Amino acid sequence: MRRILIEELRQVPVAEHKVEIVERKGTGHPDYICDAIMERVSQDLNREYLDRFGDILHNNVDKGLLVAGQVKRAFGGGKVLKPMRLYIGDRATFALGEAKVPVREIAVEAAKAWIRENLRFVDPEKHLRIQVVLGPGSEELTDIFQRQGGLREANDTSAAVGYAPLSETERMVLEAERYLNSPAFKGRFPESGEDVKVMGFREGRCLHLTVAMPLLCRYIETESAYVQKKAAILEDLGRCFGSTPGLDEVTFSLNALDRQGRGMGGMYLSLLGTSAEDADSGQVGRGNRVNGVIPLNRPVSAEAAAGKNPVSHVGKIYNILAHRMAEAIYLRVKGLQEVYVWLLSQIGTPIDQPRMATQLILESGVTLNAIAHQVQEVIEEELSNLAQFCRDLALGRYSVC
């Protein structure tokens, strides 16, 4: 029997806190690159296992490290002195019976494909060295995949939490980065790099967004050209986001470390569009939570979801499921201001049998007794559809970063 606790949370919603801080690391940020590539590797392995064996075999490709390279930047161009290095690690199934699986080849090609699709000026053949350090799993964890039955047993004792809805600050931070990395924006401002980081600070109803985004050397010939492009980008951001319902004021800073008159040392220029070219390394789990932001006012899980397998690793399944369930409850049950869903697994227990709690901030005049049964119904429905949810996870239908 599932044990589901539903309680009223007596506090004000995050959107009504006097101060709120939210961060997002964008497509070209080294931490995002690690998360996205490890997830792509896991998805491609899952497809290979399904195509060849009709089932997903043991894999957890959730240990990744991107070591920064070295470049020489100059107005109008530059050169790569030392390529970046990507380590792809943890565990995978290399064979089933006599059938071998080309795990290393799949991992390398997945990483290169993601780079080609997302980073315009990074050539994975020239600018990146890949080292695959995947190995076979332990007997006990691998055995989970050989046991009979429907849903897998949890491979860990782990907890996750999700919430809904996004606050206006969270939504703005998320949308600002996606806008800056959108094809339309890159078409208008091709000199903007993919390594976008947005930090939002809301005080009362005033939101300030600090944006870091390099400009590409190949498009910038002088310091004055850099200054002019920055001004044009800030004007574009103000025009797009300056008037936002729920906020009285939205302001932006761009590349706040810049100092005019200091030459290359006073400008955020990039040769390849990512700080991993020489300034910053990346690691799985240091980036966005599974809903796309790093929300400092919210409870979050310490688990990194990227790269974990989608059928037994609750560090992935419950992280994404908790947010999905919170959103479903918020949308389908009237009278709620905020929803928090907590999920706890016990290793060896079927993944559809978590211990869980749902915390609700109610609208004025709404009682817990009046809506608890509706909340229970949504939870039971989501858990009963967990097999389909895991299949969708395997096919990459849910974002993890």
| Per-residue model confidence (pLDDT) at position 302 | 85
**Model confidence over 254-294: pLDDT tens digits?**
999 999 999 899 999 999 999 999 999 999 999 999 999 99
Range of the domain at 231: 14-24+167-275
Contact 366, 282 (CB under 8 A): no
Looking at the domain assignment, is residue 387 inside a domain? Answer: no
Looking at the domain assignment, is residue 259 inside a domain? Answer: yes
- Reduced to 3 states, what is the DSSP secondary structure of residue 349? coil
Among 88-97, 141-150, 260-269, 309-318, where is mean pLDDT lowest?
141-150
| Number of folded domains that form the chain | 1
Residue type at 70 in one-letter notation: Q
Looking at the domain assignment, is residue 258 inside a domain? Answer: yes
**Model confidence over 24-45: pLDDT tens digits?**
999 999 999 999 999 999 999 9
**Sheet strands side by side (includes 128-135):** 128-135, 84-92, 59-67, 282-283
Looking at the domain assignment, is residue 317 inside a domain? Answer: no
Looking at the domain assignment, is residue 220 inside a domain? Answer: yes
Looking at the domain assignment, is residue 194 inside a domain? Answer: yes
Mean pLDDT, range 64-87, rounded to an integer: 97
Give percent of the chain with pLDDT exceeding 90: 88
Two structure tokens written together for 82: 């030392």
Q: What CATH number did the domain enclosing 177 receive?
A: 3.30.300.340
**Model confidence over 334-351: pLDDT tens digits?**
999 999 999 999 999 999
Torsion of the alpha carbons at 121, 126, 128 and 133, rounded to the nearest 10: 150
pLDDT greater than 80 at residue 58 = yes
Looking at the domain assignment, is residue 97 inside a domain? Answer: no
- How confident is residue 140, by pLDDT bands cut at 50, 70 and 90? low
**Sheet strands side by side (includes 355-362):** 3-8, 355-362, 336-344, 159-164
Looking at the domain assignment, is residue 132 inside a domain? Answer: no
pTM for the full predicted model: 0.95
